[in-house]
Structure 1
């Protein structure tokens, strides 16, 4: 997560940046400003997660900055730094939406506690936003399902769907038989198989499709809405759906191109015409006029699990990831025994999707088939819980393998990153995120491989660049200082002398030809 620092005193601003770089939370300083006016422009440009600002500044103070930007960017949080004498301003800052206050002089512990609070708050808010977005999608899917089945629906939902779907092509897919003789499935396996088919289709649409909407309408019957100009992509997608479901589950999916959607009201006509064309096909369940309700709810849980797991991976929080998955397994194990297998499969598909997108893991057809078969054989809550535990452990092994794979080249990639961006405000957390590793583990790995800490290595790179500039250009010491990442020339000169034994001017005198 990214922080913008707003402070008119350069030394204090530099100190704040160092405090933040040493925090355990995954924060990076993405920008700095010396007053509220400059910060207002940067907020619009950088869209940080958090702004840490002093109250008393020239041009525009922190309170005015907060009042002007919080309404425009409500998702950006503010921590306000104040002096004892300005406490009445601080109260106004809280009323204007500041998340927390820090009183000067604030210690490293004060800053870390404030960042930990902000980190927890932002993560909770982001999780809630993901959940809200996915639930909104579920409501839209439910509204669309009622249109297909000629059930009453709200006019406001219809207006949105009309705009999104007009001009799309409707393809109806159905499973010819959920109980093929060569597979030995039982009737109790049908809900699990149906859920697996839905997820396989969804993964293929996401991975290689032209974009579109996939929806379960009734038992064994699915609607696929694609862009009208999908062309060859449409044919590849349908071919992949039919062959993959056959390969993984031994089921036959039959597609019917129903036609272009001219209006929302015409969806039901297109759907029913496609069903009439396939009337001779054997469908696993007879149409009873009732829309399927349970599966979309499980798809919401699946998407939430995937989004949360992906967020923890991106933040490099491996232990938090394991705890989250253990918690989900425990929570789902307490659910109704009849729906538990489908919930368990939703967990598995969520992790499979994350492994493909985040861990660069290809789907394993044989393994998936074997795991679904084992879930089919589970009898009772304890066996399903054990199956879920095996799935999460399998995912964590993939995660560890992915981390180890990146670890092999992480230091060399980090060194290249430092050499390319040495003039920027670099932090350990920023570098660790770049190479997809936990900050603590990366710090240990970096020192083991280079023999130097990240901070010392960065100083050495900057000093080497400074030597080149001093020896080969007429740039002033102040200009060289800025070009190698130091805003304060005196601080740069002090580090340079510690590194070389000479002041910048002495070094230039001895090394200029």
Structure 2
């Protein structure tokens, strides 16, 4: 349902426009009427209509001033002018300030319906873009955690590879270029907050603080990569770098063996010649989580993937994910995802898996 307000000081015009909308576009609903631009602005603030149909010449505030004010205040309502004045100057002013159409009175139904069809297509496209934006914003938040982990390990090359992979994924899925710029800027801010929290100081990229308006996407990527260099330099200066290298080696050891149910903190610590207690402290400092939290995270992610294979029994999945105690496995999964492995698999079958 798309909402409409009609702005005109002639009751007959408001009535006839409402009738035209109701006859062929029932999914457009007139939610308010205004006598002039001033009343219309109040309605716009309160109702946030999808479409404003307005006259030009009205008392208090005319249509041109209304269009300018709506644009200045940042409302995203579509605006169509309906006027009895067939003057180029009026149409030029209206269209220049954001009106999407200019129709002359008396209204010709075929032209009015053509206009509504155009508005409907624009609104549907806008809604689709908003949904796409939300989905990608969530992905950027997820990616930011990986970037923070890499940066905290001073793994700049992996940051650059991941940044390129993000861009290639968006390009492959034909994401709108303006949206790509906004997403990369959001990604920068997500990473900045996370890494600054770990470093205890804020390190910014001055070129990106003002927003993406004057940047091409390639420039934004270059700025972020240069900023990554600054971050990794500060990370190396602020940390015991020898221990950090060992922790990164330990993580690779864990990734190779996390499905082994006998893998322990002591085994991992010994692999990098560190005492278990010291390794435990350094690991938490490096990754912001304990060894067991990290190991559980890997095993749970593996479990989610294995549950997609309907040929596997859940007890078999437990073993493949690194658990030889099935009750402990199901208890851990339920604590982690707020549902049992069987419930998760049922949701998979019905294509109703939540974002977890």
* TM-score (normalised: structure 2): 0.48
Larger RCO of the pair (alpha carbons < 8 Å, separation 6+): 1
* TM-score (normalised: structure 1): 0.34
